[in-house]
Amino acid sequence: MTEITKEQTKQYRDAFLANNKQVALQRGVVKNGISASAENVAAHVENTPVFSIDLATGKVSNQKQSGRCWMFAALNTFRHKMLQQFQLKEFELSQNYTFFWDKYEKANYFYENILATADQEASSREVAFLLQTPQQDGGQWDMIVSLFKKYGVVPKVVMPESSNSSNSRDLNKYLNKLLRKHAVVLRKLVADKAAEKEIVVKRSAMLQEVYTLLATALGTPPEVFDFEYRDEEKNYHLDQGLTPQSFYDKYIGVDLDEYVSIINAPTADKPYNRSYTVSMLGNVVGGTPVKYLNLDMETFKQLAVKQLEDGESVWFGCDVGQSSTRDSGIMALNAFDIVDLFEADFSMTKAERLDHGDSLMTHAMVLTGVDVVDGKSTKWKVENSWGEKVGEKGFFVMSDAWMDEYTYQIVVRKEYLTKEQLEAFEAEPVVLAPWDPMGALA
């Protein structure tokens, strides 16, 4: 064991106080904070919000105090299509509707995993992982696909936001309490060798409790509704007797099977041109399994550019908290000059950050533009879901170098993949552990 001695600490103190530059910096950092003191104006100059490809998207949405970025991003890609096709000026799809069914399905998915691990001790790594967070707001692209396929979508006016969808802290607190109690009951039934029929009956009663909790907190999802709107020419439209599924088919019409998740994870355990999945990751039992194709970063970016060139925005996942300014909306490696501020070396490779817990996907947004110079991407336009008071009316600018280091996932049409890439995606995936960083929820 190596103990810190008083002599060592005095030596460090003396060295710090003898460094006049550092003492001067100390005054500014103590008063103003780390980020404010380190923010680099040069990053703003280098990342102006002008792009050679810039898609029309309308106003940004606002997920408020919730972790629903992944579903906001997916619904925003659909909204972009509807705005253009039906000449809508302002329109949103209901995030609360999708939120309800995600919570409902995640409860059942949790039961499935609890029963599958019921022969393990509660202290085992898998069971402890499940119980730590039985469900949460975040998700993955394939999880939203499962929800859209099963439940469709509805306009926001049909199921508007609730207090608990806009601020989900209490909802998650009490839903997770309920699910942990259900886990106790299910594990005891298995330990007591209860008949399968008894477990099925009990599980159904538990789902009723979950439905009641969700309906009370979020409202009751509509089964049939009318859709009325005025287009940009002020023409009135009325479509009656729609279901969420028929609305999706008529007004969205996107074949979700034609899209594929691409990741960039340059770690030794994940060779490129292979497909991967994550154990115990999902929401809808029997839904679309989570699956990725791991590709190198240059190919990754080329695929995103192709889709933008064809006029379609791109769902993507990244580690948004790394070297980004929330208010001004700059995502750049030099957004903050932390190295000079602390005289410390923070540098790691992307693989090292993934392997050592320093970074993973934390947020999903939408690529709506890119600046291509001499055939190379230089910066990207990002539609966030934090409202219009951040960035440029809610839009961020991401440098190409930042994308290399902190972007982990995009969703693109299969038609852009080569035959070899598509075969690699469709091959039997390598199964990753539940706690693998590629299993992170945006």
Query: Does residue 290 surpass a pLDDT of 90?
Result: yes
Catalytic status, residue 69: yes
pTM of structure? 0.96
pLDDT digits (tens, 9 = 90+) for 401-426: 999 999 999 999 999 999 999 999 99
HEC states along 408-424? EEEEEEHHHCCHHHHHH
| 96 is an active site residue | no
Domain identity same for 269 and 209: no
Domain boundary among 254, 275, 293: 254
* Residues 292 and 179 both lie in one domain: no
Residues 316, 413 within the same domain: yes
Catalytic one among 76, 172, 283, 384?
384
* Least confident span in 79-88, 363-372, 424-433: 79-88
Asked if pLDDT for residue 439 goes beyond 90, the answer is yes
CATH code of the domain containing 223 = 3.90.70.10
Q: Does 11 map to a domain?
A: no
Closest alpha carbon to 183 in 129, 244, 130, 104? 130
Give the helix/strand (H/E) hosting 78.
helix 69-85
On whether both 266 and 392 belong to a single domain, the answer is: yes
Active site residue 363: yes
The whole domain housing 343 covers: 36-65+256-442
- Residue 5 domain-assigned? no
Does residue 114 lie in a domain region? Answer: yes
Verify that 325 and 407 share a domain, yes or no.
Answer: yes
Residue of 40, 62, 69, 96 with catalytic role: 69
Co-location of 187 and 270 in the same domain:
no
Helix (H), strand (E), coil (C) string for 243-262:
CHHHHHHHHHCCCHHHEEEE
Same domain, 174 and 47: no
| Same structural domain, 152 and 227 | yes
Q: Are residues 271 and 236 in the same domain?
A: no
pLDDT per position as a tens digit, 77-129: 999 989 889 998 889 999 999 999 999 999 999 999 999 999 999 999 999 99
**Residue 379: inside a domain:** yes
| Same domain assignment for residues 114 and 58 | no
